[in-house]
């Protein structure tokens, strides 16, 4: 029987519904407090789920009052630093929403706080928890297409959120692209070295800040990751997982973010075929990705990993010390867009 964690959920807006529904399914989770700067929000969520717990506006008070050992940070990005550090300093582990922080300085201080308190801080990167992305990662790491040289991700959607995203300076890069950047690191197993980003707000955008961007990253394995994205693209949407093309020495891997990934690999690599070598455009053969992962999907999959890591006393896959590299991709892109220059990240 797993330990039952006493949980305070901080931030009772839209996304807290997803967390609370998933937490209520777990034997190892008990919600003992809800916090929001607007007490009415916390009361609304308490009543909606029939929770028997206190509602608060101050996190430290909630932790002490409810004897919590775990805080879920579902507040807005600008509050993540304050909530996470307060939680760890008051003896709690933290599962936080992305993005981990609003600045690199904050992210570094959050890691320092985790080191100093011995508490764990892991970040919700739910898009890693998907059988297709795990199969794609395996397709690459097993060498099917050889060493990857170029990774392309296209992300084009037109969601009308309303709320904080509509008035953020960089809604696409800060609030969404963290997922795609984290996915890129996860798929190829490399970290960013530099970035050049052009961020802009195209005609027809309903966002105040820049809702579109093109970014070029040099990665630690020598490959180049290119990202083209927009959150104000009406029509012909890609999936939320993005549309991927990864080109390696021996072939290309494709994943549309929805169906199973596959590769097209030089036929000469798959079977000794000397005639294939002589053609102008070489013959290739399709290789299906092996689907071997059967964990829970998305948010629930990431939660499983976070709770298991706590139980096993190890950092979660999405521990803050890993996640800071995805944060660096986000904040480096914004710095590059502002300065008009390539920014070194390591």
Ligand X SMILES: NC(=O)c1ccc[n+]([C@@H]2O[C@H](COP(=O)([O-])OP(=O)(O)OC[C@H]3O[C@@H](n4cnc5c(N)ncnc54)[C@H](O)[C@@H]3O)[C@@H](O)[C@H]2O)c1
Residues that bind ligand X (CB under 6 A): 10-16, 35-38, 41, 74-77, 79, 82-83, 97-98, 124, 126, 163-164, 175
The least distance separating ligand X from the CB of residue 127, rounded to whole angstroms, comes to: 7
- Tell me how far, at minimum, the Cβ of 240 lies from ligand X, in Å: 8
Cα 310 to Cα 319: distance, rounded to the nearest angstrom: 11
- Smallest distance, ligand X to C-beta of residue 162, A: 10
Minimum CB distance to ligand X smaller for 113 or for 126? 126
For the chain, list the strands marked E by DSSP: 5-10, 29-35, 54-56, 70-73, 93-96, 121-123, 148-156, 192-200, 212-219, 224-230, 243-248, 251-255, 262-266, 284-288, 343-344
Shortest Å, Cβ 307 to ligand X: 17
Cβ pair 212, 203 in contact under 8 A: no
For ligand X, the closer of residues 10 and 267 by Cβ is 10
Minimum distance from CB of 210 to ligand X (Å)? 17
- Least distance to ligand X, CB of residue 109, Å: 16
| Nearest residue relative to ligand X (C-beta) | 13
- Of the pair 126, 180, the CB lying nearest ligand X is at 126
* Residue among 185 and 250 whose Cβ is closer to ligand X: 185
Pure H helices in 4-58: 16-24, 39-48
Q: Which is nearer to ligand X, 213 or 289 (CB)?
A: 213
Whether the Cβ atoms of residue 24 and residue 49 lie closer than 8 Å to each other: yes
Rounded to an integer, what distance in angstroms lies between the CA atom of residue 73 and that of residue 70? Answer: 10
Distance CA 204, CA 292 (A): 43
CB closer to ligand X out of 82 and 304 = 82
For residue 65, count CB atoms less than 10 angstroms from its CB and return exposed for 0-12, middle for 13-18, buried for 19 or more.
middle
Minimum CB separation of residue 108 from ligand X in Å reads 19
Cα distances (Å, whole numbers) of residue 324 to 110, 112, 223, 232, 344: 10, 12, 20, 27, 15
92 vs 246 by CB, closer to ligand X? 92
């Amino acid at each position: 029987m797993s330990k039952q964690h006493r949980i305070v959920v901080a931030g009772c807006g839209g996304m807290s519904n997803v967390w609370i529904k998933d937490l209520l399914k777990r034997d190892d989770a008990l919600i003992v407090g809800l916090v929001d700067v607007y007490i009415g929000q916390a009361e609304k969520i308490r009543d909606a789920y029939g929770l028997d717990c206190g509602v608060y506006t101050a996190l430290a008070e909630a932790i002490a009052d409810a004897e919590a050992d775990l805080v879920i940070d579902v507040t807005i990005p600008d509050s993540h630093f304050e909530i996470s550090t307060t939680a760890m300093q008051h003896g709690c582990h933290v599962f936080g929403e992305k993005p981990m922080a609003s600045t690199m300085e904050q992210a570094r201080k959050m890691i320092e706080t985790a080191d100093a308190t011995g508490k764990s801080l892991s970040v919700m990167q739910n898009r890693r928890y998907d059988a297709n992305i795990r199969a794609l990662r395996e397709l690459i790491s097993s060498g099917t297409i050889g060493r990857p040289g170029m990774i392309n991700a296209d992300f084009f959607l037109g969601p009308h959120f309303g709320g904080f995203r509509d008035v953020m300076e960089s809604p696409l890069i800060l609030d969404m692209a963290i997922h795609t950047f984290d996915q890129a690191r996860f798929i190829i197993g490399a970290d960013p070295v530099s970035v050049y980003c052009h961020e802009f707000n195209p005609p027809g955008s309903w966002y105040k800040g820049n809702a579109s961007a093109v970014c070029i990253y040099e990665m630690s394995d020598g490959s180049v990751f290119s990202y083209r994205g927009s959150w104000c693209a009406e029509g012909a949407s890609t999936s939320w997982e993005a549309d991927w093309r990864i080109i390696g020495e021996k072939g290309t891997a494709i994943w549309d973010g929805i169906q199973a990934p596959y590769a097209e690999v030089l036929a000469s690599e798959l079977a000794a075929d000397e005639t294939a070598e002589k053609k102008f455009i070489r013959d290739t053969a399709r290789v299906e990705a092996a689907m071997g992962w059967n964990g829970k999907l998305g948010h629930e999959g990431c939660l499983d990993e976070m709770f298991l890591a706590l139980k096993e006393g190890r950092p979660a896959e999405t521990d803050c010390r890993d996640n800071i590299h995805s944060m660096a991709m986000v904040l480096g892109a914004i710095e590059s867009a502002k300065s008009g220059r390539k920014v070194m990240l390591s």
